[in-house]
Each structure stands twice: as C-alpha cells, then as structure tokens.
C-alpha cells in the first residue's frame, strides 16, 4: 500500500509520486488537528518534496474545503482551518475534493480570499451515484467560484511540463469532445 511507502501510519492519508507530480491524499474523517498523526505526517511529507523532481503538488480529499452548493455546507471547514496553511506554505497547486454530487471550480484561494499563490480548488463529486445530483448552488454565486454545474461528468488533468498543466471537465452526456470547463495553468 502507498501509505507505508510515504511514511504514513494509515491508509486514510498518504502520498505518492506520478511522473512529475507529488499527490497527497488527506483523510477528511480522521483526526487532523495539530499534533495528530495525520497533521504531523503532512508537515513531514510536505517538507520532503523536491520541486525540481516533482514540480507539481496536488492534494485530494473527500469533503470540500470550499463549496457553494447547498449540499454538505461546512463539512470540510474544520480540516480546512487545521491544514490549509500547511498546503499554502508548501505551494500546493491543486486541491481536488468530492462528496458534493456536482462540479465546481474555484479561483486560487487562501483563507476564503482570492490569492494568486493559493491552490486552485475543484470539487468533482459528479461521477455518478444512486443518490443523484446535488442541484442547488447558493445565490448569488460567490466571486471565488468560477464555474458551477450540477451534471454528471468527469475531469482530465494533463501535466504538460514543469510549469504548465491543463484541467478540463466534461459532461458525461456529451457525445462530442466539447469541454464544458477548463483552465490552463
């Protein structure tokens, strides 16, 4: 299991490398405050990243830290408050979350504000499920949220090189190669 290789004591949080990317999996439903095993592991893991070898750092978690959908409001807030500073200081590039059965992409954020040095946040919990989609987003939309859609879909992340990546999101019912949302970084 990758968790042992990354020095984690749990398969609920761990990291691994794929090509030029360091991927961090965080546990939304396990202790995460300072001095917990997950927190101290994350500090250590982030400190070991060699940006010359893995210039991209991506974090994945279940409950989104930023969410303007009416479903699951605030469920990721405690872990965000505990760990967001660590990700920001380590210059994490992207944070992907699920849980909300819809798609939403945010601007780069730190501490609930637009920040060009913060990660780009994407909620992509729309892969399909028996409960159906979560259809309602808060009105008016937050200026932090750049794209919202309550449709089934899938995403594609393409790391181009050390400095550029392309994220695209596609509705599952599209029969052509139309990209419903995308961003090049």
Per-residue pLDDT in tens (0 to 9) along the chain, 185 residues: 678 889 998 999 999 999 999 999 999 999 999 999 999 999 999 999 999 999 999 999 999 999 999 888 888 899 999 999 999 999 999 999 999 899 999 999 999 999 999 999 999 998 877 888 888 899 998 999 999 999 889 999 999 999 999 999 998 875 666 788 988 77
What pLDDT was estimated at residue 17?
96
What pLDDT was estimated at residue 162?
95
Question: Does a structural domain hold residue 175?
Answer: no
Question: Does a structural domain hold residue 162?
Answer: no
- For 139-161, letters b (16+ CB in 10 Å) and e give eeebeebeebbbbbbebeeebee
Question: Does a structural domain hold residue 81?
Answer: yes
What pLDDT was estimated at residue 74?
87
Is the CB of residue 67 less than 8 Å from the CB of residue 122? no
What pLDDT was estimated at residue 9?
87
Phi/psi region, residue 72 (left: phi>0; alpha: psi -120 to 50; beta: rest), is: left
Cβ neighbours, 10 Å, residue 165:
21
Tokens found for residue 131: 């409960």
Residue 123, helix vs strand vs coil: strand
Question: Does a structural domain hold residue 167?
Answer: no
* Catalytic annotation present for 154: no
Tokens found for residue 48: 């070991």
Question: Does a structural domain hold residue 85?
Answer: yes
This prediction has a pTM of 0.93
Sheet holding 165-171, edge to edge: 153-159, 165-171, 181-184
Question: Does a structural domain hold residue 161?
Answer: no
What pLDDT was estimated at residue 77?
94
What pLDDT was estimated at residue 175?
66
Residue 94, domain CATH: 3.60.21.10
How many separate domains does the chain show? Answer: 1
Catalytic residue among 22, 35, 62, 72: 72
Question: Does a structural domain hold residue 94?
Answer: yes
Print the domain residue range for 129.
2-152
Question: Does a structural domain hold residue 7?
Answer: yes
């Amino acid at each position: 299991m990758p968790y042992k290789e990354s020095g984690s004591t749990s398969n609920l949080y761990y990291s691994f490398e794929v090509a030029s990317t360091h991927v961090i999996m965080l546990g939304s439903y396990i202790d995460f405050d300072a001095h917990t095993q997950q927190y101290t592991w994350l500090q250590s893991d982030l400190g070991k990243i060699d940006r010359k070898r893995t210039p991209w750092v991506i974090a994945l978690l279940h409950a989104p830290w930023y969410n303007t959908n009416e479903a699951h409001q605030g469920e990721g807030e405690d872990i965000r408050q505990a760990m967001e500073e660590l990700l920001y200081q380590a210059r994490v590039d992207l944070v992907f979350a699920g849980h909300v059965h819809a798609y939403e992409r945010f601007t780069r954020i730190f501490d609930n504000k637009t920040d060009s040095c913060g990660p780009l946040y994407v909620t992509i919990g729309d892969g399909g499920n028996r409960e159906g989609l979560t259809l309602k987003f808060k009105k008016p939309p937050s200026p932090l949220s750049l794209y919202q859609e309550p449709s089934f879909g899938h995403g594609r992340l393409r790391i181009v090189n050390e400095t550029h990546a392309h994220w695209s999101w596609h509705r599952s019912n599209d029969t052509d190669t139309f990209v419903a949302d995308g961003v090049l970084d």
